[in-house]
Amino acid sequence: MNDHDKSRLTFFRDDILRMRGYQAGEQPQGDKIIKLNTNENPYPCSPSVVQAIRSVEAGGLQKYPDASATAFCTAAAPILGVDPNWILCGNGSDEILSIVTRAMVGPGQKVRWPFPSYVLYSVLTDIQGGLSDPVSFAPDWNLTDEFYSDQDQLGLVFLANPNSPSGTLLDPEKVLELVNAVRCPVLIDEAYADFAGVSCVDLVAQNERILVSRTLSKSHGLAGLRFGYLVAQPQIIEQLVKIKDSYNCDALSIAGATAAITDQVWLRQNVEKVRSTRQELSEQLESMGFEVTPSSANFVWCKHCDRSSLEIYEYLKSNQLLVRYMEFGSWGDGIRITVGTDDQVDALVTILSSILKKP
């Protein structure tokens, strides 16, 4: 739609007409392509998930689900070391991020995050009519002093930890420093925390401005199920609940997620496999001339020393292998590669070798 047409749609909010929507990674619906572009788990979820889903199917789907996903909260609470009422469940952690932004950010308020990071933060800010205020990471992927400057109208801070696309991690002590240096809530987006083995959930009890979001999409192998959750103090959850749709999690996902979080043995084994392959992938990439950022997640961020990232991405794609090419304006570009199975990584290495041999 061109600008002339847009000017006709005056009943939309200006913020919406002006903004670009979030561009998700390509999701070809087929099996031929090796998909290492959206940080999905290469392994199937715990078998107990499918069992749990089937038992819900058997009872019928005609009734509304439990609005509070009580079964999940009850199962997750002891694992997380909190009470069940410290947990808010969502339709993927994207919905959790959306709920928190809608609760905290009004027109003209600033939302800050270290840059580059998850592109959705800016989209959620735009929808609210807020002001995106990304502050570049230091070269070592720590925060700079600028991150704490000019907090006027600062409504919310996002911190993806581990970060995407870099895969880098701030340890909990540094996160606590960040929280103490700002006055607004800090949402720590722990989509990839299981792969790091480090979490800030323990910090939530220390400060009501600390909110930690999690997803089952990555480490639990359940991107197709849509289930995420927030850990925060109960007086925070109580306000956020007002914003969520009553029945935001369906009956199948509540049952599946409950089974998934309960099967910690599957989770640990899965994480171990991914970490081991991540190590292998990083070494292979380095041996082929890539600069690889040390990763605490289930993907690696890399650039080749003398080939363009876009060229590599396109060559891989033409060979039925999808990775994520990402471009962050003046900050530069690179390739984010999801850790797949060992076989998928072997296939990647083979294709990469062939392109790098070319003049």
Q: Of 41 and 295, which has the nearer Cβ to its own copies? A: 41
Q: Of 209 and 275, which has the nearer Cβ to its own copies? A: 209
CB of 48 to its own copies, least distance (A): 13
CA distance 279 to 20: 36
CB of 156 to its own copies, least distance (A): 8
CB of 95 to its own copies, least distance (A): 6
Q: Of 42 and 169, which has the nearer Cβ to its own copies? A: 42
User: Can you read off the two tokens belonging to residue 359?
Assistant: 């003049």
CB of 128 to its own copies, least distance (A): 9
User: Can you read off the two tokens belonging to residue 291?
Assistant: 């600069």
Q: Of 207 and 319, which has the nearer Cβ to its own copies? A: 207
Closest C-alpha to 271, from 292, 254, 296: 296
User: Can you read off the two tokens belonging to residue 75?
Assistant: 């199962």
CA distance 166 to 211: 22
Whether residue 327 contacts residue 115, with contact meaning beta carbons closer than 8 Å, is answered with no
CB of 304 to its own copies, least distance (A): 27
Closest C-alpha to 272, from 215, 198, 194: 194
User: Can you read off the two tokens belonging to residue 303?
Assistant: 């650039």
Q: Of 12 and 331, which has the nearer Cβ to its own copies? A: 12
**According to DSSP H, which parts of 42-143 are helical?**
47-59, 70-80, 93-104, 120-127
CA distance 273 to 270: 5
Q: Of 3 and 173, which has the nearer Cβ to its own copies? A: 3
Give the residues across from 334 on adjacent strands: 326
CB of 322 to its own copies, least distance (A): 12
Secondary-structure percent of the chain, ordered helix, strand, coil, rounded to 5: 45, 20, 40
Q: Of 110 and 304, which has the nearer Cβ to its own copies? A: 110
